[in-house]
């Protein structure tokens, strides 16, 4: 691989669905999928209670909880200050569950207009709030803008699990999450499939949401 003389995203990425027919990986993917689904289910149940809803409410809003996985490989880079592994973006999912390698840091999140590294913690997962969660919560829970940076000495592999609604589900702020005084709904109703296609066309410029108006 030849590194370019301009800033760009250089990495290999493989998007896998649970029913992938890659035989050598299918058993592992299904086992990992089941484990992640259990974690996600518990998270959605906890978030539902925090948001003053019935325990199963967030799961029910998905109609069908869809899972997809992206395996990212970032090779060592001789000029890491000039190359981004992945450009700044937010995820179009409800939540994203990320497994990082223990000894290589590459994930960064934007906080107070500064990029902050998310150092790997052994035997721990990173959970990102995605765009759907931000819309349902009317902006109370923010879809985190993040990026991946290259490493000079080591390659990095990450495993991202995306959980999101069925394409036909209409997403909009939940009524009880809208401020009772201002009654300001920050996002308009949109079908998830439509939102996904729109966001994919805009993501390269940074965080993409679907504001009202």
For the chain, what are the domain ranges? 12-201
pTM above 0.75, yes or no: yes
pLDDT tens per residue, range 33-81: 899 999 999 999 999 999 999 999 999 999 999 998 888 877 766 655 6
Average pLDDT of the chain, as a whole number: 81
Cβ(5)–Cβ(63) below 8 Å = no
pLDDT tens per residue, range 124-149: 999 999 999 999 999 999 999 998 88
User: Ramachandran region of residue 123, left (φ > 0), alpha (ψ -120 to 50) or beta?
Assistant: left
Specify whether domain 12-201 bears CATH 2.60.120.330: yes
* DSSP element (H, E) containing 98: strand 95-100
């Amino acid at each position: 691989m030849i590194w370019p003389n301009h800033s760009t995203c250089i990495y290999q990425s493989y998007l896998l669905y649970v029913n992938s027919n890659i035989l050598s990986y299918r058993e592992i993917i299904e086992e990992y999928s089941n484990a992640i689904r259990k974690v996600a289910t518990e998270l959605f149940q906890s978030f539902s209670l925090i948001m003053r809803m019935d325990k199963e409410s967030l799961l029910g809003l998905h109609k069908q909880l869809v899972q997809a996985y992206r395996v990212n490989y970032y090779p060592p880079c001789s000029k890491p200050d000039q190359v981004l592994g992945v450009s700044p973006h937010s995820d179009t999912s409800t939540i994203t569950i990320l497994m990082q390698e223990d000894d290589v840091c590459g994930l960064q999140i934007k906080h107070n207009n500064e990029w902050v590294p998310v150092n790997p913690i052994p035997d721990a997962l990173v959970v990102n709030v995605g765009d759907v969660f931000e819309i349902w919560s009317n902006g109370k829970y923010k879809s985190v803008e993040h990026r991946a940076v290259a490493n000079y000495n080591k390659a990095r592999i990450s495993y991202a699990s995306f959980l999101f609604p069925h394409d036909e589900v209409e997403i909009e702020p939940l009524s009880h999450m809208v401020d009772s005084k201002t009654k300001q709904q920050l996002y308009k109703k949109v079908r998830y499939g439509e939102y996904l296609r729109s966001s994919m066309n805009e993501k390269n410029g940074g965080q993409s949401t679907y504001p009202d108006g």
